[in-house]
Amino acid sequence: MDPRTHQLLHGPIAPTLIRLAIPSTLIIVAQLIAGLAETWWVSRLGTEALAAMALVFPVLMLCQMMSSGAMGGGISSAVARALGAGDVQQARVLFFHAMAIAVVMGAIFTLAVVGGGRWLYAMLGAGEEAIVILANRYSNWLFAGAILIWVFNALASVIRGCGNMWVPARIILWGTALLLLLSPPLIVGWGPWPGVGMLGGAWALLLYYALGSLALLLHLLSPASLLRPRWADAVFQRAMFLRILGVGLAAMLSAACTNLAIATATSLMGRLGPEVVAGYGTAARLEYIMVALVFGLGSPLVAMVGTCIGAGERSRALRVTWIGAAMAVAMTESVGLLATAFPQVWMRAFNQDAAVIEAGSLYLHWVGPWYGFFGLGLVLYFASQGAARMFWPVLANGLRLIIAAGGGLLAWTWGGGPEAVFLTQALGLGAYGVLMAWAVWRGVWFR
């Protein structure tokens, strides 16, 4: 048995989980710094640019969440279960199936967003034509390279499924440093170079994914890799696709519910003007940061739970899950309470407009205290990927969508205003976490 697999099955749970979470957390911190830095540089271009970025951001996050946390979780889970059962050859075959899925899904995103972006951003409530045009131009460049995003995250997920968290971490950290160097001159200029505005951020991001994909592939083919896939392993089988898609497609549906809930609120806030949608979009980034933070813990959780399930160690899989859940709740609730207590600190980092700050602070006041429930539901979602049991995560996120989006639309129609919309979002997070915890506690994984 590979030493990494042995550690996942027999190592002390909390220390092993923390040790594996360190590289993933470093990745998240680095990516958050890069994302926040890009938002700060774009905010130098004006409120219209910030509002346009707020419209594109949920779509970009949907692509990243589906390729990394959703389908990527399905890939990691399938590889981990194969290795837990001692079948390295099956894991090699799964690599080629993962790459095929990534290319197809990336192409679908390119066709959908490049072809329908203008309609999408107008539907999200941009209000002003200039903002729609700006958002569409930015997203056209960004999603022209959607295949790169999907391939990058699929390669990283294969490696994480092997229990190796440090290789993706090192590559992503170097890539993030490159992003921090390239984004400022490309967005706002440097010396005689005038910059190209928001498009510069898209160019830098695509270069990051291209170089990162190459580095991850070279590692998988090297002697240091556990898999070392060969062309002889590229024999496509329906059963292998189903091992990935059975988890990945359900997880994608769950991720779509998360983004649709935020997109609905974005559309409603857009009716109040660009300042309000910019404020809400900036504040709602904190929810995506929660996703990223829990992903740092969720990636090793998928590998540990999947390996334990593959080896038949059910009780250990549950112990791993609840320990990870306690860590996630403590982390996300701490951030939520800080955001609730000091919302203007977060908002003023990106914009000084009073209307922008007021809208974002109002959102954080209502939703911030509920982030612990979101962290609970999300970490159990990742654990369910490892167990290949995705019915309840989809159901729980669907309930959240009904409460947050459906309830928000009703509240708006009845004249409730932004406060009522934000309250429904908070209640949706609470329902998501409670239902997920109840389902796992009741033992639905093993029925």
- What DSSP string describes 5-54? HHHHHHS-HHHHHHHHHHHHHHHHHHHHHHHHHHHHHHHTT-HHHHHHHH
CB neighbours of residue 116 within 10 Å: 12
Residues forming beta bridges with residue 193, ordered by sequence position: 190
> For the ranges 30-44, 164-178, 391-405, which has the lowest average pLDDT?
30-44
pLDDT computed for residue 318 by the predictor? 92
Judged by DSSP in three states, 193 sits in strand
CB neighbours of residue 164 within 10 Å: 20
**Residue 259 pLDDT > 60:** yes
> For the ranges 79-88, 129-138, 241-250, 382-391, which has the lowest average pLDDT?
129-138
Which of 60, 103, 49, 71 lies closest to 205 in space, CA to CA? 60
Q: How confident is the model at residue 108 (pLDDT cuts 50, 70, 90)?
A: very high
Phi, psi at 165, each rounded to 5°: -95, -20
Q: What angle do CA 231, 234, 240 make, to 5 degrees?
A: 155
Euclidean distance between CA atoms 116 and 148, whole angstroms: 20
Conformation bin of residue 314: beta by default, left when phi > 0, alpha when psi is -120 to 50: alpha
Which of 353, 93, 120 lies closest to 228 in space, CA to CA? 93
pLDDT computed for residue 1 by the predictor? 59
pLDDT computed for residue 403 by the predictor? 92
CB neighbours of residue 97 within 10 Å: 24
Output the pTM of the full model.
0.72
Q: How confident is the model at residue 434 (pLDDT cuts 50, 70, 90)?
A: very high
Q: How confident is the model at residue 127 (pLDDT cuts 50, 70, 90)?
A: low
CB neighbours of residue 260 within 10 Å: 17
Cβ(343)–Cβ(365) below 8 Å: yes
Q: Percent of the chain having pLDDT more than 90?
A: 24
DSSP state letters, 329-343: HHHHHHHHHHHHH-H
Most confident of 228-237, 250-259, 354-363, 369-378: 369-378
**Residue 4 pLDDT > 80:** no
Average pLDDT of the chain?
85
Residue whose tokens read 């968290």 = 165
Euclidean distance between CA atoms 132 and 111, whole angstroms: 18
**Residue 126 pLDDT > 60:** no
Residue type at position 185: P
Q: How confident is the model at residue 280 (pLDDT cuts 50, 70, 90)?
A: confident
Cβ(140)–Cβ(52) below 8 Å: no
**Residue 305 pLDDT > 60:** yes
Cα 151 → chain centroid: 15
**Residue 151 pLDDT > 90:** yes
**Residue 125 pLDDT > 80:** no
Q: How confident is the model at residue 321 (pLDDT cuts 50, 70, 90)?
A: very high
| Stretch 212-239: mean pLDDT | 89
| Stretch 247-254: mean pLDDT | 84
Torsion 331-61-393-67 (CA) sign? negative
Q: How confident is the model at residue 87 (pLDDT cuts 50, 70, 90)?
A: confident
Tally DSSP H helices, then E strands, for the chain.
Answer: 18, 0
Euclidean distance between CA atoms 67 and 69, whole angstroms: 6
CB burial string 371-388: b at 16+ within 10 A, e below:
bbbbbbbbbbbbbbbbbb
pLDDT computed for residue 124 by the predictor? 66
> For the ranges 39-53, 154-168, 241-255, 364-378, which has the lowest average pLDDT?
39-53
